[in-house]
């Protein structure tokens, strides 16, 4: 039986996070510790680091490796139309309300590789609202944004995404939105026409516009309570009156100082700013 | 027997039946939390806590992120997230890659619990058809906790506890009918 001692201690995780802040200005100190430690350990094993010292040296001195580090310690798992019932509510309740505005501004914070951004584009197009919408899709990580802007996703996922799309209330042929290119599905350029991908770090960057809908799903779970409150205030500052804020299935506004100003749509993790 | 600060139970195919037999017999005054990680299909979210809460004198609830972990409560890991345990005895949730084709992964909860509770952790791996939980039990070994499996002879699907017995040091192998009494004595 092969029992090895843990490779990295909590103290060493703190050292790495302090380095990142001091050398690169990336602040991960408000992230949930168990999750980020697992991500770091995963990368440490994956890249077969020889020692903590070597691993640390590389992150601090090799810019390419630093980029890999940031990409790998953040979670970039996402799907098109993930949680189809959520997207059904967007389609049937939220976006039709916003459709009465002359212009719709949406912020998708923590967009990762873009699957949700294209999902929203598809719904807007079907509601005939895409032409008067702009979707700002942001992430702290330039590598995933590069991928997002290409609009190409694995062909092997399309069956699942098509099922999600139908469950979310989609009635078209899902395959009409992309062309198959070997192992990749390339989504139609029209869907990209109203998407603006750009870097934004929720921890350190400020509000950059006012929106009628902000979506940030499965990002706050990685933050500690203080950071969650700070980011929710940032969203509050960036949301117009009567605008909507959408969070992930297991996330909530309940414990936040901004919650008295919001009214929840029953059964969904969507809140409307009422004052 | 040493004091237990937390019991984590993992299982897959064939484990629900075990829980339905064991949970009704648990001591209502249990002095530690019970965290249950069961593989199941995404979308059947709230059914499991509901199903189990009718069957035991203890409070049963689905894990909420950042929630403090309290004694005498049975926590169910939500579907489609990994449930992690933090040093300050709270839960955090994680939507990272599946582990062993599973989310929730038993390994993720066992491993983080092992670091937090050390020698005061008891982990029990039940019936199942893949090897999730085995690496977690190895972590329990490293951090000095107690690693237990369902007796493979009593498991609907013996593969999971068998793999654990092959790759980790198992402190106790329990038959279904002995589990509740054993757990109550940890209190």
Q: How confident is the model over A18-73, as pLDDT tens digits?
A: 999 999 999 999 999 999 999 999 999 999 999 999 999 999 999 999 999 999 99
Has B96 been annotated as catalytic?
no
Query: Is pLDDT of A159 > 70?
Result: yes
Query: Is pLDDT of A2 > 60?
Result: no
Q: Is the ipTM of this complex over 0.95?
A: no
Cis amide bond preceding B104, omega within 30? yes
Give the domains, in start order, of chain B with CATH numbers. Answer: 6-184 (3.40.50.180)
Query: Is pLDDT of B118 > 70?
Result: yes
Percent of all residues in chain A with a pLDDT value above 90, rounded to a whole number: 95
The predicted structure's pLDDT at residue B48: 87
Beta bridge partners of A273: A262
Give the N- to C-terminal CA distance of chain B in Å, as an integer: 10
Distance from CA of A32 to the nearest CA of B (A): 7
Which of the four pLDDT bands, split at 50, 70 and 90, describes residue B2?
A: low
Which of the four pLDDT bands, split at 50, 70 and 90, describes residue A270?
A: very high
Query: Is pLDDT of A4 > 80?
Result: no
Average pLDDT, chain B: 94
Assign a CATH topology to domain A84-273: Rossmann fold (3.40.50)
> Which chain B residue has the Cα nearest residue A34?
B86
Task: Give the integer Cα–Cα distance in Å for A179 and A181.
Answer: 6
**Rg of chain A (C-alpha set):** 20
Domain with CATH 3.40.50.150 in chain A: 84-273
B24-55 pLDDT, tens digit per residue, is 999 999 999 999 999 987 665 568 888 899 89
- Residue B3 near residue B120, CB atoms below 8 Å: yes
Of A12-16, B43-47, B115-119, give the lowest mean pLDDT range.
B43-47
- Residue A238 near residue A214, CB atoms below 8 Å: yes
Task: Give the integer Cα–Cα distance in Å for A245 and A107.
Answer: 10
Question: Are B85 and A34 inside 8 Å of each other by CB?
Answer: yes
pTM: 0.93
- Residue A238 near residue A206, CB atoms below 8 Å: no
Residue B84 contacts A, CB cutoff 8 Å: yes
Taking residues B91-98, report their average pLDDT. 95
A242-253 pLDDT, tens digit per residue, is 999 999 999 999
> Which chain B residue has the Cα nearest residue A4?
B142
Taking residues A154-171, report their average pLDDT. 97
Taking residues B51-77, report their average pLDDT. 95
Percent of all residues in chain B with a pLDDT value above 90, rounded to a whole number: 91
* Residue in B15, B107, B132, B139 annotated catalytic: B132
Which of the four pLDDT bands, split at 50, 70 and 90, describes residue A5?
A: low
Query: Is pLDDT of B80 > 80?
Result: yes
Chain B environment of A113 (Cβ under 8 Å): none
Pairing of strands A178-181, A184-187: antiparallel
The predicted structure's pLDDT at residue A65: 96
* Residue in B39, B102, B107, B139 annotated catalytic: B39
Number of cross-chain residue pairs from A and B with Cβ atoms under 8 Å apart: 66
Which of the four pLDDT bands, split at 50, 70 and 90, describes residue A275?
A: confident
Taking residues B118-126, report their average pLDDT. 98
Interface of A with B (CB under 8 A): 1, 3-6, 10, 32-35, 38-39, 75, 77, 218, 221-222, 224-225, 228, 248-252
Task: Give the integer Cα–Cα distance in Å for A185 and A177.
Answer: 9
B42, B77, B93, best to mutate vs chain A, most A CBs in 10 Å: B93
Distance from CA of A183 to the nearest CA of B (A): 21
Length of chain B: 187
A34, A84, A222, A250, best to mutate vs chain B, most B CBs in 10 Å: A34
Length of chain A: 275
Has B39 been annotated as catalytic?
yes
For residue B83, give the nearest of A258, A230, A56, A38 by alpha carbon: A38
Percent of all residues in chain A with a pLDDT value above 70, rounded to a whole number: 98
The predicted structure's pLDDT at residue B45: 58
Residue B101 contacts A, CB cutoff 8 Å: no
Average pLDDT, chain A: 95
Chain B environment of A249 (Cβ under 8 Å): 45, 78, 80
């Amino acid at each position: 039986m092969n029992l090895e001692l843990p490779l990295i201690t909590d103290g060493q995780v703190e050292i790495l996070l302090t380095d990142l802040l001091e050398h690169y200005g990336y602040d991960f100190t408000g992230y949930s510790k168990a999750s980020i430690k697992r991500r770091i350990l995963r990368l440490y094993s994956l890249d077969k680091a020889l020692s903590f010292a070597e691993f640390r040296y590389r992150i601090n001195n090799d810019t390419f490796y630093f980029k890999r580090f940031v990409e790998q310690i953040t979670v970039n798992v996402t799907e098109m139309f993930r949680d189809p019932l959520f997207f059904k509510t967007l389609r049937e309740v939220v976006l039709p309300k916003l459709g009465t505005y002359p212009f719709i501004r949406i912020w998708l914070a923590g967009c990762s590789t873009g699957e949700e951004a294209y999902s929203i584009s598809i719904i807007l197009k079907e509601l005939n609202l895409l032409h008067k919408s702009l979707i700002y899709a942001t992430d702290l990580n330039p590598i995933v944004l590069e991928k997002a802007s290409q609009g190409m996703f694995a062909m092997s996922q399309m069956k699942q995404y098509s099922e999600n799309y139908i469950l979310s209330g989609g009635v078209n042929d899902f395959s009409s939105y992309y062309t198959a290119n070997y192992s990749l599905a390339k989504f139609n350029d029209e869907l990209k026409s109203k998407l603006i991908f750009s870097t934004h770090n929720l921890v350190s960057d400020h509000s950059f516009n006012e929106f009628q809908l902000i979506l940030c799903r499965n990002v706050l779970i990685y933050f500690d309570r203080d950071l969650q409150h700070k980011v929710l205030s940032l969203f509050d500052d960036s949301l117009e009156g009567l605008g909507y804020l959408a969070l992930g299935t297991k996330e909530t506004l309940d414990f936040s100082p901004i919650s008295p100003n919001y009214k929840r749509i029953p059964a969904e993790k969507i809140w409307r700013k009422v004052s | 027997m040493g004091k237990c600060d937390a019991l984590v139970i993992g299982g897959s195919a064939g484990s629900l039946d075990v829980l339905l037999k064991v949970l009704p017999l648990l001591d209502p005054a249990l002095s530690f939390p019970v965290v249950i990680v069961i593989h199941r299909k995404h979308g059947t979210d709230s059914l499991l806590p509901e199903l189990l809460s009718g069957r035991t004198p203890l409070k049963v609830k689905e894990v909420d992120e950042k929630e403090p972990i309290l004694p005498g409560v049975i926590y169910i890991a939500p579907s489609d997230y990994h449930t992690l345990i933090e040093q300050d005895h709270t839960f955090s949730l994680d939507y990272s890659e599946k582990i062993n084709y599973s989310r929730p992964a038993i390994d993720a909860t066992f491993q983080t619990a092992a670091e937090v509770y050390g020698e005061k952790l008891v982990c029990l791996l039940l019936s199942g058809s893949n090897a999730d939980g085995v690496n977690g039990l190895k972590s329990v070994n490293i951090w000095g906790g107690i690693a237990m499996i369902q007796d493979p002879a009593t498991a609907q699907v013996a593969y999971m506890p068998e793999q654990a017995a092959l790759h980790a040091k198992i402190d106790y192998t329990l038959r279904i009918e002995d589990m509740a009494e054993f757990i109550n004595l940890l209190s």
